[in-house]
């Protein structure tokens, strides 16, 4: 029988230890291959000058799997990171306190933010108080605006008449710059990204720590805690077909596999990311019977 192979197919992986999970579909697998290492013992011929080999024994030292996945599913990412995958529920956070700085990112909890509002929440102006450059206050008589100290000094004994046209207000020996309404404008005063709020330099938020409150809704998400699940063991099944033989079926079962962490996981790339794995086939003592492999078995039905 002469059968050539052009293999394709689906790969399934299920945890067997420390807990048991269903055989999950890994999605697009670009490469799945088995590599065998030999342990060779040779008996040299010590009776002649020319030497040679009198006898040799070859045994399989180890069998390793190499796999490249192109589906960045939560399960596959968790496998790559030796991580635990859990679900993060969608929730709305109201008036959460943060600080903002020009040219910097303010981190929020979760990802996939919608309905974001941000409001400056400064201290209320105080009479005869020493203020430093960059201090932020809210006027008691004009509570919808906030002001940034541009000349340090001591505030007056009575509250000044605050400018609300973006110009400066003199207050004792302090000079205040009107920064406008307390409510910040999305897209202008801040930009929403997947990690939080970015405040562009040159905007209404100055470079110093500005107290703000943020209301937002975070999306339902997958949370992968990396480097928390080392030592898991799996069963791997390849449900394959031979494209060079009219799609004849091939099945490979690896009874007990332990993977190393992913070799490289790209965060920024110029192409679709690939997750490269290697793993060792371990002996499965639960398999008994004459002639049965404790490592792997292949079954195929050529046309």
234 in Cβ contact with 282 (< 8 Å):
no
State how beta strands 233-242 and 248-259 pair: antiparallel
171 in Cβ contact with 181 (< 8 Å):
no
Residue 63 Cα distances to 80, 142, 275, 278, 280, angstroms: 20, 75, 20, 11, 6
15 in Cβ contact with 256 (< 8 Å):
no
What structural domains does the chain harbor?
A: 7-39+59-83+225-300 (2.30.110), 91-222 (no CATH)
Tokens of 149: 């100290």
pLDDT band at 161 (very low <50, low <70, confident <90, very high): very high
Q: For residue 265, list its beta bridge partners.
A: none
pLDDT of residue 231: 81
| pLDDT of 158 strictly over 80 | yes
- What is the average pLDDT across 221-228? 94
pLDDT of residue 230: 82
pLDDT band at 264 (very low <50, low <70, confident <90, very high): confident
Q: Give the chain's mean pLDDT.
A: 94
Q: Report the Cα 118 to chain-centroid distance in Å.
A: 26
Answering whether pTM is above 0.75, one says yes
- What is the average pLDDT across 234-250? 97
Residue 179 Cα distances to 106, 204, 303, angstroms: 19, 6, 78
For the stretch 34-75, pLDDT in tens is 999 999 999 999 999 999 999 999 999 999 999 999 999 999
User: In 3D, which of 138, 131, 86, 89 has the Cα closest to residue 112?
Assistant: 89
pLDDT of residue 146: 95
pLDDT of residue 143: 74
């Amino acid at each position: 029988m002469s059968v050539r192979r052009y293999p394709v197919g689906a790969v399934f992986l299920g945890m067997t230890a420390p807990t048991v999970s269903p055989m999950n579909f890994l999605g697009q697998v670009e490469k799945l291959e088995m590599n065998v290492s030999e342990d060779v013992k040779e008996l040299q011929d010590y009776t002649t000058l020319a030497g040679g080999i009198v006898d040799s024994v070859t045994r399989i030292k180890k069998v390793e799997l190499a796999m490249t996945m192109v589906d960045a599913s939560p399960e596959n990412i968790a496998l790559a990171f030796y991580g635990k995958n859990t679900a993060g529920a969608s929730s709305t956070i109201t008036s959460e306190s943060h600080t903002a700085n020009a040219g910097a990112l303010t981190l929020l909890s979760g990802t996939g933010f919608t309905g974001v509002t941000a409001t400056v929440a400064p201290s209320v102006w105080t009479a005869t108080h020493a203020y430093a450059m960059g201090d932020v206050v809210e006027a008691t008589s004009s509570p919808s605006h906030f002001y940034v100290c541009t000349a340090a000094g001591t505030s007056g004994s009575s509250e000044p008449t605050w400018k609300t046209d973006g110009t400066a207000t003199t207050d004792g020996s302090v000079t205040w710059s009107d920064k406008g309404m307390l409510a910040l404008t999305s897209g202008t005063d801040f930009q929403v990204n997947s990690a939080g709020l970015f405040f562009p330099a040159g905007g209404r938020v100055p470079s110093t720590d500005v107290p703000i409150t943020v209301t937002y809704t975070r999306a339902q998400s997958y949370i992968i805690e990396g480097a928390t699940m080392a030592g898991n063991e799996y069963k791997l099944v390849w449900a394959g077909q031979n494209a060079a033989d009219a799609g004849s079926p091939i099945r490979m079962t690896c009874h007990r596999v332990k993977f190393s962490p992913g070799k490289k996981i790209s965060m920024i790339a110029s192409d679709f990311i690939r997750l490269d794995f290697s793993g060792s086939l371990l002996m499965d003592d639960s398999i008994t019977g004459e002639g049965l492999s404790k490592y792997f078995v292949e079954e195929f039905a050529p046309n």
